[in-house]
Amino acid sequence: MKTARGHKKQGKIFVISGPSGSGKTTLLNKLTQDREISKLLIKSRSLTTRPRRCQERDGKDYFFVSPDEFSRLLKAKKILEWTRYLGYYYGTPREHVEARLKKGGHIGFCLDLKGAAILKKIYPQNTVTVFVLPPSLETLKARIEGRSKSTDKKEVAQRLKLAARELSAAPGFDYCILNNNLQVALKELKEIILTHIGS
């Protein structure tokens, strides 16, 4: 779409955030498979130094890289924003994101609180932040434990501790979605996205 001056309008950024186990990644993955949404929105793929979980695929869920490679890309300014989460590095590759936004394409991100704040700061006009709330801390615990059979007990405990802290950031987001029922949460997220893409 073009602005009144004939410039191409920048694409929109949708940052989905929330504690580990809130279901934010599932929500965004499912949404980008939706017939209507898949034509409009792509999901950004992050780089990470965290080990791959058994159901994850390199290049699809993440680009799994070594700490040295991450550091090299960071120095070369190839990473738009990054964070350290429980000892591992995560970052958004810059080039693809900037090129797509420039062309007016929209992108969805699953990021931690720091990533959400940074993208809102870099792109204040076109970033929409959504916080996904789990129904309860008990559900969160069950999801984190169930998902990661291979994740050690220490990491589960760390993720839970961090989750309790992350929950307090929800009021600072543009929207909050309660992920009690996946279909209901998906519908809400789809509505938010279509409202902003249409505007």
179 binding ligand 5GP? (CB under 6 A) = no
CA atoms of 11 and 2, how far apart (whole Å): 11
Which CB, 82 or 131, lies closer to ligand 5GP? Answer: 82
Per-residue exposure over 47-57, b if at least 16 CB sit within 10 Å of its own CB, e if not: bbbbeeeeeee
Could you tell me the smallest distance in angstroms from the CB atom of residue 114 to ligand 5GP? 5
CA 170 to chain centre: 15
Q: How far is the CB of 155 from ligand 5GP (least distance, A)?
A: 9
Q: Nearest distance from residue 190's CB to ligand 5GP, in Å?
A: 20
List the interface residues with ligand 5GP, window 113-142 (CB under 6 A): 114-115
Q: Which of 10, 92, 129, 179 binds ligand 5GP (CB under 6 A)?
A: 92
The stretch among 5-13, 27-35, 77-85, 174-182 that binds ligand 5GP (CB under 6 A) is 77-85
Pairwise CA distance, residues 155 & 196, whole Å: 37
CB 72 within 8 A of CB 103: no
